[in-house]
Amino acid sequence: MPGGKRGANTWYDEDDMYDDEDYDDEEQEAYQAPVKLPQQARAIPVAAPAKVNKQPAGSSLAKAMNNKGQQQAIASKGSAQKQQPEQVQRFDFSTPSPDDTVRAAQKGARASTSHQSRIWTPGQAEATAGTEAATAGMQQLAVADPTNRQTNHQQEEASQPQPAAAQASAPPLSAYTMEADLARACSQAGASSSAASSGEKKKPGLHLAVLGHVDAGKSTLMGRLMHELGHISAREVQKRQQQANAAGKGSFAWAWMLDERPEERSRGVTIDVATAHFSTPQREVTLLDAPGHRDFVPNMITGAAQADAALLLVDGSTGGFESGFRAGGANGGGQTREHAQLARCLGIENLVVVISKLDTCDFSQERFQEIRSALQAFLLGQCGYREASLQWLPASAPLGENLTQQPKDPRLAAWWQGPTLVQAIDSLPSSAASALEKPLRMPITGVGKGPRGGISVSGRLAAGALKEGTPVLVLPSHQPATVKSLLCNGSTTPSAVARAGDSADVVLSGLVDDSALGPGSVLCHPTWQVPMAAKITARVAVLDVPIPVLTGQPVTIHVHTAQEAGQISSLVSLLDAKTGEVSKQRPRAVLKGQSAVVQITPVQPMCVEVYSDFRTLGRIVLRDGGTTLAVGIITGLAMSS
């Protein structure tokens, strides 16, 4: 390997690019273009100020949050300038060579096969990678040999920063048991939810994301469905129709129903995913209506990261499906494709595919089948969904066809005897409560003023529980606070407790600096804190990207509600497409369709987790310039010192 060291922040000279025997022509072609890119093109981009609030423009909170965005941007810019990669960094043997590091790691891996999965805990090596994968690529990632995985992470660990003092003392997750009073409140809430006071059984909850290409009909469908289910009155429908007509947008009247959010769920919401709550015969649904435009994919990620299942809206009109389904990566592929892939990566297994606008093609059964076969091949083959977890149905929102009742239009009724939309939703598995026994994790999606002073933060509990009086810690600002009151799952009456899986508005007291809250912040247990990672190791599948991913690739890192600029600081290993095992250590590039272990360095430390510990906080999406480059799971973290 003449000419340079392979590792973090290292570049290869052109000679080094072509000295490998197993370097075929196709790869060679792919490598050449990026190598010739000007150095500048590889700089870490300045983080865009987070789009965080819908506070009144003049409010102190709004100003503080905007200032914070500017400060972050300035800080990021400074770091970006500092972190310009060197052209070639020669190895001076003052530290262990990469080979020494690998050997040491292999030795360590053999010596210890039962490590816990949090390398930031002193004395613990990084650990078991996630055993569940997201996309098809991710499924392959997850079946890798555990020894190889361990080796990869320890290899990374050797060059990573040491844990911060504050977090170094964190006890292992396995030592956590829920506080007695909180456990009591949880079991009381469990008892009351299985036998509500009226004697009626409470319906299981379901967080449902609505995804799809721009203008597929998502908001229209949800507006009409909520009306059919009795959540929007006929008077309201009439009012909205008049407003939409007056604005010359009559066809958007149903979509506008959803845009006007009920009071109780919109105090200072900071993300552009509309939320709504409604009940079907079998489920209490929290709806997350994601924007379909490609510019808002980060918001879609935020919405989908909170969901248990998703509706994928597909425009069935002539040319509509084709436009949402076109491939194209950086050249503007459709969001039917991108959303489906991202949702799977974010852990969504169950998908209801709703083919809408079929009224524009005479409710043609052939068109339905044509779309279904093309999309099914993609969902099963390239995204990793299981056939049994997919449901398909036609619907027309403006005509109210196949939403809550079997179709009435004879053109559709003639051939559709399958489920209605509501029947499909009712058959989805409800929210999992498996993370209840873990320490509190609540990624913050919104910040607002509490009803009687105090700051209210909203989000979905990824793990643990909280109740009035629970002490919490807000990271990354390291602020202790106490829960003053809380509302759960859209309810307007205070709740006794919020548990893993619940959406909650939590009023906090004792916060010193509310301006430090925003997307990416996490409410956590004061002792078992969420790690602040300075480096992230992830197993990722590279999507349909036009140029290979190289060391130094600038990325925007998305994990739960967090979004941070950074770079791919090391390509650790390539993974075999079939087995998921390491096929090559320290590759020079990762091509589209390949899976790899990579190390990512954010400009600012991020509150994230290893996937095997906390799934919601351990799924990662890497984007650049509006394009999704890779999706995957976090397998290792290193803390800033």
Ligand X SMILES: Nc1nc2c(ncn2[C@@H]2O[C@H](COP(=O)(O)OP(=O)(O)OP(=O)(O)O)[C@@H](O)[C@H]2O)c(=O)[nH]1
Residues that bind ligand X (CB under 6 A): 212, 214-220, 251-252, 255, 291-293, 313, 356-357, 359-360, 396-398
CA distance 45 to 47: 6
Query: Measured from the CB of residue 459, what is the shortest distance to ligand X in angstroms?
Result: 22
232 vs 13: CA distance, rounded Å: 64
Of the pair 309, 397, the CB lying nearest ligand X is at 397
- For ligand X, the closer of residues 266 and 360 by Cβ is 360
What's phi and psi for 540, nearest 5 deg? Answer: -125, 155
Look up residue 477 and give its amino acid: S
Residue 439 CB, nearest distance to ligand X (Å)?
A: 36
- Cβ neighbour number for residue 176 with a 10 Å cutoff: 17
Residue closer to ligand X (CB basis): 217 or 566: 217
Q: Which is nearer to ligand X, 360 or 482 (CB)?
A: 360
* Token pair 């009109």 in the structure block, residue: 317
CA angle, residues 177, 180, 183, in degrees to nearest 5: 80
Distance in Å, CB of 364 to ligand X, minimum = 13
Please report how close the Cβ of residue 86 comes to ligand X at its closest, in angstroms.
43
Distance between CA atoms of 358 and 221, rounded to whole angstroms? 13
Nearest to 541 by CA among 254, 328, 345: 345
Identity of the residue, 396 or 537, whose beta carbon is nearer to ligand X in the bound complex = 396
> Do the Cβ atoms of 421 and 229 come closer than 8 Å?
no
Cα(545)–Cα(566) distance, integer angstroms: 18
CA dist 431 and 357 (Å) reads 30
If the CB atoms of residues 292 and 501 are measured against ligand X, the closer one turns out to be: 292
Give me the residue whose beta carbon is nearest to ligand X.
Answer: 292
Comparing CB distances to ligand X, the nearer of 16 and 272 is 272
Smaller CB separation from ligand X, 7 or 291: 291
Least distance from ligand X to the Cβ atom of residue 355, Å: 9
Q: What angle do CA 127, 148, 124 make, to 5 degrees?
A: 20
Q: Minimum CB separation from ligand X for residue 398, in Å?
A: 5
CA distance 41 to 54: 34
Q: How far is the CB of 253 from ligand X (least distance, A)?
A: 8
Output 17 or 214, the one with its CB closest to ligand X. Answer: 214
Q: How far is the CB of 631 from ligand X (least distance, A)?
A: 21
Q: Can you read off the two tokens belonging to residue 290? A: 């994601």
- 278, β-bridge pairs: 285
For every residue of 196-250, DSSP letters joined together read: -TTSPPPPPEEEEEEEESTTSSHHHHHHHHHHHTTSS-HHHHHHHHHHHHHTT-G
| Smallest distance, ligand X to C-beta of residue 287, A | 12
